[in-house]
Chains A and B, each alone.
Chain A
């Protein structure tokens, strides 16, 4: 069964450092997402990506965040200068498209710890 894969599973970084979280969505999916879950809290939408551009972003997704899909397979989330409050679980998700399937598939997540 196809799945969304994320690497690394756990990343520890120093405050102020740049970090890149990687995701390989399901190959024939059209919509890609990043969500964040601070420990013990709800899952929050960060950004959606469709047709090689951002289609929507939340207030959390400020100038410190960026996404790209450079080679048609990997979908990355970059945080330029990490802050302590960026510590969270980051989930990548992909969706085929509502005309075909409404199910969003999630990766196993990357636990980011900023120290």
Chain B
């Protein structure tokens, strides 16, 4: 079974600064996908960024980028130029590439607060 670990229950950052959220995972699969989801106070789950394990290049989406280290099974999220609207819970998630129901396995989340 796959597990996802987020070791930082809470983090804070000053507006306009950069912050990195950590995520590690455990799997015996070779092909899979990794995701970061944002959950603002509204509780909606919003996809921030995704990474295919077969791609060596780290994914980027505007101010959001990941550091994917497949051998270390690490998938951290970097938020640059933090904005007040980035305040939310952030969940790291794993999905097998094939052969299953393609469910998401989530970590426990990191509560990020961006301070003015």
Query: Which of B46, B102, B108 interacts with A42 by CB under 8 Å?
Result: B108
Count of chain B residues near A, Cβ 8 A: 23
Shortest distance between the CB of A37 and any CB in chain B (Å) = 8
Query: Which of A42, A55, A56, A108 interacts with B91 by CB under 8 Å?
Result: A42
Q: A42-B106, A42-B108, A102-B33 are contacts. A109–B44 as well, Cβ < 8 Å?
A: yes
Is the pair A43, B101 in contact by a Cβ cutoff of 8 Å?
no
Q: A42-B91, A42-B108, A103-B50 are contacts. A48–B44 as well, Cβ < 8 Å?
A: no
Q: How many A-B residue pairs have CB under 8 A?
A: 58
Per DSSP, are chain B's interface residues mostly helix, strand or loop, or mixed?
loop
Residues of chain A contacted by B91 (CB below 8 angstroms):
42-43
Is the pair A48, B105 in contact by a Cβ cutoff of 8 Å?
no
Task: Say if the beta carbon of B55 comes within 8 Å of chain A.
Answer: no
Shortest distance between the CB of B39 and any CB in chain A (Å) = 8
Is the pair A48, B33 in contact by a Cβ cutoff of 8 Å?
no
